[in-house]
């Protein structure tokens, strides 16, 4: 994503910037979104920031605590289950009804898988998180239904927040292999098989969550006080979103 502070304050760029920050895991669930700070950051008035927040709230991506502030959503364990349930249903149906892949589709998917491989090799976890979610959105794009694409885009954003809250361990390789299997099935002209694999894939990912643990209210404090293990990476994306409530 481009540098926020220099980007022109185009319409809906605020929404996009925040969603992008979530999709690439540069912004944590529960992070405070201060209206004034965002306004100065985007060189607009609070009015437009608030409008963006309203839109994002309608998409369950941020929540408002009255007279206290806006926060990136922190899906509950129950909500997490529902989001995965919804994804299973949507992606199953999507893949099952998938038309035969065009040459361009195949190339795009292979390109994507290649990027996943590179991110794994480089150990670039932020990029990986982004790619892992994007894979499913690309499938929706190929399926050619923009309505479901929008639905999946929001579900993916929420999924990433869920991962950040509950993921005990991230089996990047396993997920990548799941994606490969889905692509292979699609190429073989077996959408039913691809759909079944998608369910299996989502099951595996959900399996990797620890939905019993309550979100740690001290998480961001803990992170801040710990020696910065990924200093090189995180300093690259110096987002001014504060995580401290």
Partner DNA sequence: TGGACAAATCTTGCATACAAGACTGGAAAG
Partner DNA sequence: CTTTCCAGTCTTGTATGCAAGATTTGTCCA
Give me the helix-helix angle, 46-58 and 13-23, nearest 10°.
50
Contacts of 241 (CB under 8 A, 6+ apart): 21, 26, 27, 31, 32, 33
Output 70 or 135, the one with its CB closest to DNA.
70
Using CB atoms within 10 Å of the CB of residue 81, give its burial: 0 to 12 exposed, 13 to 18 middle, 19+ buried.
middle
Continuous segment of H or E residues that includes residue 70: strand 69-72
Q: Which of 3, 6, 68, 103 binds DNA (CB under 7 A)?
A: 68
Output 33 or 148, the one with its CB closest to DNA.
33
Output 27 or 128, the one with its CB closest to DNA.
27
User: What does 146 interact with, of its own copies, DNA, none (CB < 5 to 8 A by kind)?
Assistant: its own copies
Output the smallest distance, CB 67 to DNA, in A.
Answer: 4
219 binds DNA (CB under 7 A): no
DSSP at 117: H
70 binds DNA (CB under 7 A): yes
55 binds DNA (CB under 7 A): no
Output 131 or 156, the one with its CB closest to its own copies.
156
User: What does 231 interact with, of DNA, its own copies, none (CB < 5 to 8 A by kind)?
Assistant: none
Q: Which of 5, 36, 102, 184 binds DNA (CB under 7 A)?
A: 36
Residues 62/18, Cβ–Cβ less than 8 Å: yes
User: What does 83 interact with, of DNA, its own copies, none (CB < 5 to 8 A by kind)?
Assistant: its own copies
> In angstroms, what CA-CA distances link 69 with 36, 48, 53, 66, 245?
11, 16, 11, 7, 10
Which residues of the chain form contacts with DNA (CB under 7 A)? 11, 32-36, 44-48, 50, 64, 66-70, 245
């Amino acid at each position: 994503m481009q540098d926020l502070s220099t980007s022109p304050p185009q319409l809906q760029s605020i929404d996009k910037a925040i969603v992008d920050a979530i999709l690439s895991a540069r912004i944590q669930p529960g992070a405070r979104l201060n209206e004034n700070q965002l306004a100065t950051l985007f060189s607009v008035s609070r009015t437009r920031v608030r409008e963006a927040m309203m839109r994002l709230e309608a998409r369950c991506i941020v929540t408002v605590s009255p007279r206290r502030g806006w926060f990136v959503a922190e899906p509950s364990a129950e909500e997490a289950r529902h989001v995965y349930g919804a994804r299973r249903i949507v992606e199953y149906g999507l893949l099952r009804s998938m038309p035969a892949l065009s040459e361009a589709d195949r190339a795009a998917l292979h390109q994507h898988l290649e990027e996943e491989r590179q991110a794994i090799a480089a150990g670039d976890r932020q990029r990986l998180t982004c790619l892992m979610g994007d894979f499913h959105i690309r499938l929706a794009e190929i399926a050619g239904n923009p309505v479901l694409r929008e639905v999946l885009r929001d579900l993916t954003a929420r999924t990433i927040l869920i991962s950040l809250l509950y993921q005990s361990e991230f089996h990047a390789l396993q997920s990548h292999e799941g994606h490969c299997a889905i692509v292979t099935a699609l190429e073989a002209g077996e959408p039913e098989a691809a759909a079944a694999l998608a369910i299996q894939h989502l099951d595996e990912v959900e399996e990797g969550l620890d939905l019993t643990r309550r979100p740690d209210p001290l998480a961001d404090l803990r992170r801040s006080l710990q020696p910065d293990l990924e200093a090189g990476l995180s300093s690259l994306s110096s987002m001014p979103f504060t995580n401290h409530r």
